[in-house]
Amino acid sequence: MTDPLTVAGALNFRDTGGLPASGGTTRPGVLFRSGNLARVDAAGRETLRRLGLRRIVDLRDDAEVAWEPTRLADLGHETVRIPLFAGSTASFFAEDLTLDDLYRSLVDGAGESIVEVVRAVIADQPVLVHCTVGKDRTGVTVALALAAAGVDEDAVVADYARTEALLPAQRNERVLAYLRSLHPEARHLEELATRSPAPAMRRVLDDLRARFGAPVEFLRAHGLGDDEIVELQRVLIASR
C-alpha cells in the first residue's frame, strides 16, 4: 500500500494504490479517500492540484456540508454529492449504536447509493471519495469498491483499519469531550468517533458473503451491472 499523503488541512487523506489484487495491484493516483476538506489550506490546495483530481465524491448530508463547506472550486474538478445517512448522523450517538449496528444500517439502507458511489468512481479519475472523518461511510463504500475490483480481502480490511492511526489524538480528545457532554450515558462514543478495528470490516464482508454470496454480489443485487464491474476492475487494477 502507498504511504499516506500529506494534504495540509485534510483529515485522513490517502491513496488506495498499491494494494494486492487478483492479477495485479491497485493503481496509484486513481482512487483517493479522506475526511472532509473544509480546512484545506494553500499548501493543501497545491497538493490536490498536483494530484489532478477530476472528481470529488462527497458522502455528507446537507447539514454537514453547510457546517463545513468545501471551497475548492478553483481546482477544476467536478463535485458529486451522494449523501449517505442523510439527516441521521447525529442520532447514532444518541442511540448509542455500535460500529456493527452502524455498518449494518448502512448496507441495509443505502445499497443503491453505495452503487452510485461506485459508478462515480468508474466514471472519471483521479477521484476522491470523502465524508466527514473518512472512517465509516467512506470506509464501507471504498472497501466494497475495492472488494468488487478483486482486491485481496485482507488488504481491503487493512486499508479500512489504517484510519484509526491517521486520526490526530488532539482531534479525538476534542471530539470525544464534546460528544460526552451531549451523551454522558453512551457507551460506544469512542468506538463510533475514533475507531476502525479490522474485525468490524471483516464482519461486514462476512455478512455480505453470507447473505449475497460475496461483497460484489451485494453491489450487483443493488443494480451494478457486469459491465460496470469489469470497468471498475480495469480502472482500479494494474495487471502484473
Q: What is the largest CA-CA distance in the chain?
A: 52
Angle at 205 between CA 203 and CA 211, to 5 degrees: 100
**Beta partners for 128?**
32, 56
Q: What is the spatial distance between Cα 22 and Cα 37, in angstroms, rounded to a whole number?
A: 32
Catalytic residue among 131, 140, 144, 216: 131
Q: What is the spatial distance between Cα 178 and Cα 90, in angstroms, rounded to a whole number?
A: 12
- 131 in active site: yes
CB-based contact 152:118 (threshold 8 Å)? no
Catalytic sites, residue numbers: 131
